Chain A
């Protein structure tokens, strides 16, 4: 509030400020003939465009994102050793991993680590992801990275789940049978490894129940899934949709009996969401 002022002083101030404001807006009106160029931030003129329209007509044009942009996750599955660290560290539990112990030699990752597990499933729900980047930090092989792709909206929420595993359901089934057969053989280290899974599941409920019951109950569900499953299709939108819906259904079927066994709940749908 202004101090007590005289009538004429008020009037003069009013006229002057109105005039100043009108001049200011008219300057902007004139400058609207110019517009800001959609230059990237590393361009020297990025901070030197003080006037003109600032709106970037986004879908038609965009400010380029630097290569260091950290948006959509990508997993280079060939280098993934299935260590589950990313799934464990994820604060919103958006990564679901399912591994199968390999009986044969899987070779090494590009940085020389030995791969011992098949990755039957490596799903990241980008709809849940909070882009904290913790998963990329803990990744021992640096196969999980954030890319600069930032515009990947979808009409169907299920399409936000990205599948990175490169095994088809049939292949996964095959590997699982092999793993079980190997576990049944009286070879001490392998049995240990096989019995370790349920133990881990009971011991660490935070993440393991996701992986372990899936490994046990998946066969009936996975068998019902369509044969062709894209090995790795983060960007392929129209392709994975039917397969995904085909996959989502058995998920619900397999999970609800478990729900009734362990923890009776009237809302299997919610349970399924929690599980995946």
Chain B
């Protein structure tokens, strides 16, 4: 009896710990989504010379809280002709696929939930898993708009995974590892081995300087193009404008989540905004130094040393992620939606060749280093 209890405690202890961390991240995503929806509405309003939400709470801050309360209180309607099991499970599949991506995200030194050796691949793989969720939602809804949206979304995500994957590969080739934490560690103070400015051997070694100069985009200037490719492709992967043809309001009502309401719809929202932040964080980790501070060590002013640590790590990484999310919003309210053929033109004729070129440059760079 006693040993049974001990057994269960020994069994449940770590499980509870993992669940606590997972809950922490999940609630962070939920809170961040509330803030991001508010930010998106404000950004869109300001870009269009409007004022945005203003009446609910001070400066309209409680508007999204009211929205989510409304979603939670809504009746859970299942369309009569829906394929019910698929329909019910789809939003949770989509959200989980985004959510697990945060598991391998290094938020700071020693601050990563699962330090996987194949972290980069892991995130890419589960981005593909999200596609399955979208397809489930579109098919399960038994609605032509939802199905069109899902099919478009799947075609788009699968296409844009290629330039995104190649852009990631060009980093991985230089880093020599698939571990996200190691990729981050190489981009800051204490990186093993010399790291010359702009990767050119005749320029000074900046590995002690840290900060901005050791980030991948500056250490290997061609990765700037790779970063641009990754950013554009990631916009398409999270179905954001100008690549939002899967949920094109003017043609498809709302795309794959046309039939959803209430908490299930909220999960799609969580997935969308969580995905935006996730791709932003991946971009930051791969190209912009991850949780490293942008401030360099300048002689006795050890800015990089002072602004490095677990709390600073979270701060810098989230700052970079939020900056990416902001650019997502900025682009959404600037650019018109692409047509399907333009979408494919951009992916296959522009992004992919350039991404391949970047991989080749990276390969030569890595072998001649």
Contacts and interface: CB of A to CB of B under 8 A. Distances in A.
Interface in A38-77: 51-55, 57
A253 to B, nearest CB: 43
B49 A28 contact: yes
Interface in B179-225: none
B49 A54 contact: yes
A51 B49 CA distance: 8
A28 B48 contact: yes
A22 B49 contact: no
A11 B350 contact: yes
Contact of B49 (A21, A52, A57): A52
Contacts of B43: 29
Contact of A21 (B46, B51, B335): B335
A32 B50 CA distance: 8
B51 A28 contact: no
A24 B331 CA distance: 11
A22 B334 contact: yes
Contacts of B349: 7
A52 B48 CA distance: 9
B54 interface: yes
B78 interface: no
Contacts of B48: 28
B330 interface: yes
A24 B49 contact: no
Contact of A25 (B47, B51, B350): B47
Contacts of B54: 57
B315 interface: no
Contacts of B269: none
Interface residues of B, number: 16
Interface string A1-20: 00000010001000000100
Contact of A22 (B45, B50, B330, B350): B330
Nearest to B228: A15
A33 to B, nearest CB: 9
Given A18-B335, A22-B331, A24-B334, A29 B51 contact: no
A22 B350 CA distance: 20
Contacts of B330: 22, 25-26, 29
Interface residues of A, number: 19
Contacts of A24: 334
B348 interface: no
A24 B335 CA distance: 11
Nearest to A20: B334
A153 to B, nearest CB: 18
B265 interface: no
A53 B46 contact: yes
A60 to B, nearest CB: 9
Nearest to B48: A28
B334 A32 contact: no
B334 A25 contact: yes
Interface in B29-86: 43, 45-51, 54
Contacts of A28: 46-49
B334 A55 contact: no
Given A28-B46, A31-B49, A35-B51, 9 more contacts: A11-B350, A18-B334, A21-B335, A25-B334, A28-B49, A32-B45, A32-B46, A53-B49, A54-B49
Interface of B: 43, 45-51, 54, 330-331, 333-335, 349-350
- Give 10 nearest A-B pairs by CB, closest first: A32-B46, A25-B334, A21-B334, A55-B51, A25-B47, A54-B49, A29-B46, A28-B47, A55-B50, A29-B47
